[in-house]
Structure 1
Amino acid sequence: MAGQALIDHGRFLEALGYECELLIESSHATPPDLPVPLSPGWTVGEVLRHVGSMYRQTLGWLVDGALPREWQRDPAPGQTVESYVREGFVDLQEVLAWHDPGERAATWWPADPTYGFWARRMAHETTIHRYDVEDAARMPHAEIADDFAIDGIDEALALWFSHRLPMLGLSGTRGSSVAVRSGGHTWIARAGPEETVAWHCSDREVEHADAVVSGSPVIVYLWLWGRRWLTEIHSDGDADAVGQLWALLRLATK
């Protein structure tokens, strides 16, 4: 493992290639201008262009050592969207595979300035958007492994909730904490005007939380990313605390 990840770096590289193929295959089943309900305001073609753009932006971070000022955000004239996504994936995968996951690299998360951060980030980015396109196409969803989903829960809470929200200057309106339990793991997410923080914890800390949400790893993973409804997970305690957690993650990940 490297950096903050809960699974081996090699799994992320495998998942990135696998999910990229699934994303492209699912796009073949629908017209590019079809709206994507799970990514409001986007079409299938726009989701693919976004993923291809993120591959190039990530490569820019790794090559330039900072957020790149310019990168190819759309297919070149005459280039298909599929080719644009594949080309971006191949270039990024080559760089990620060449470097040790623990090797230092520029990232936007001080807790994990490594190449491993980007393998993890792009694997989850591609998985979530693959799920979006499958949903738009009304296709059966390809399987997500439980251990990969557990890592995705951790990334959503540690990176997007704990780090991204403060970066954006966003916080909860009332102090509350929610325990998130899945697959034998537990996290606490605490939000309010004074702090926004989450951590991987022991079961003993759950008794101090205002609410507890739980479910299978895949369902909780997708719920934290706004791809499942509250009714699809088990929730006990303060419903407003759970609603605040979900709403804040929507702001962090949109």
Structure 2
Amino acid sequence: MSLLAHDRYCDEIARQVEQLRSVVTSGTDLSATVPTCPDWSLEQLVRHTGGALRWVELLVRTRAQENVRDERVPSHGGPQARADPAALDAWLAETGEGVVAALREAGPDTRVWGWAGEGDTRFWARRMTHEITVHRADAALTAGLPYEVAPEVAADALDERLYLVEWVQRNLPHRAPAELCAAEHRGRSIHLHATDAPAGLDAEWWVEPAEGGIAWRRGHGKASVTLRGPLTSVLLAFYRRLPLEAPELEILGERELLEFWLEKTAFG
């Protein structure tokens, strides 16, 4: 599956950081619980997201060939002042500028430590795009603000999610949702169908458990269960950010299979 251009990922990270900053400065209570990540407050969510971006900035800038511990990342945890929207906003602005600059300077093909079978800056540009895309949804839902994402970014986020599920299954058996591919589930498939995709964007996915890991592709296919709805809603539902009962979603077929999938892929 083709990826977005490296510069497109960099542009999107910058855009998502700006939109996350607008949530921070919207007047929303930073101590509010994030409904889609109930172990976190909004402030903790923002610090987590900014910390991940700073970690990747250091990996890329130093061309790290092994993992870097959080304590080595400058200002990883954010400003010392708590519940200070201005300080958090300034930290996020600096964070976004730093990671985007590092990724642009490195280009897509620079070798750097990574996971999920990848070892270049292309992986990190994509990974951080979708890390912040989904966590901005968490923030927007907490603040009661509207959430939109570009169709091509939403589609690529679904591609990446399926790729990561597949990689975890094949490479981390102690963590993998191996039950998805148990013999009793083989031959039972899932179809995702975005109903509002712009012309030229293939926004359907077909997923099937297979021996050794899932098989998936973009495109239409008769499946055991189909999840239909607007692309952003399908994205959020597949990431467990939107309940399947949401009025804009439609489920056809074996709902329990979809629920089983979402439960077993909730590994991050």
Q: Which residue of 1 aligns with 2:42?
A: 44
Asked if residue 134 in structure 1 is aligned to residue 140 in structure 2, the reply is yes
Distance of 1:185 and 1:83 partners within structure 2: 37
Asked if residue 211 in structure 1 is aligned to residue 211 in structure 2, the reply is no
Of 96, 100, 105, 1:93 maps to: 100
Q: 1:121 to 1:138 in 2, by over 3 A?
A: same
Distance of 2:116 and 2:130 partners within structure 1: 16
Distance of 2:212 and 2:3 partners within structure 1: 25
Query: 1:26-65 maps to which residues of 2 (within 5 A)?
Result: 26-28=23-25, 29-62=27-60, 63=62, 64-65=64-65
Instruction: Measure how far apart 1:78 and its partner are.
Output: 5.2
Instruction: Measure how far apart 1:23 and its partner are.
Output: 0.5
| Percent pairwise identity | 22
TM-score normalised per structure 1: 0.84
Moved more, 9-18 or 212-221: 212-221
Conserved 8 A contact 1:5-1:120:
no
Q: Which residue of 2 aligns with 1:180?
A: 192
SS at match of 2:34: coil
Distance of 2:256 and 2:146 partners within structure 1: 33
Instruction: Measure how far apart 1:5 and its partner are.
Output: 5.0
Q: Which residue of 2 aligns with 1:23?
A: 20
Could you list the per-position Cα deviations for residues 98-142 of structure 1 after superposition, in whole angstroms to 9, with x for gaps in the alignment? 1221333321121x432121111111111211121121111222x
Of 138, 150, 153, 2:155 maps to: 150
Of 246, 250, 254, 1:238 maps to: 254
TM-score normalised per structure 2: 0.80
Distance of 1:34 and 1:82 partners within structure 2: 17
Conserved 8 A contact 1:191-1:245:
no
Asked if residue 223 in structure 1 is aligned to residue 237 in structure 2, the reply is yes
Instruction: Measure how far apart 1:43 and its partner are.
Output: 0.6
Distance of 1:212 and 1:150 partners within structure 2: 16
Q: Which residue of 2 aligns with 1:189?
A: 207
Instruction: Measure how far apart 1:201 and its partner are.
Output: 4.2
Q: How many residues are aligned here?
A: 242
Q: Which has the higher contact order (CA 8 A, sep 6+)?
A: 1
Conserved 8 A contact 1:157-1:198:
no
Could you list the per-position Cα deviations for residues 44-93 of structure 1 after superposition, in whole angstroms to 9, with x for gaps in the alignment? 10011001110122134333222212434312545933333233222211
Conserved 8 A contact 2:206-2:219:
no
Q: Which residue of 2 aligns with 1:103?
A: 110
Q: Unaligned 5+ residue runs, structure 1?
A: none
SS at match of 1:235: strand
| Aligned-CA RMSD value | 2.3
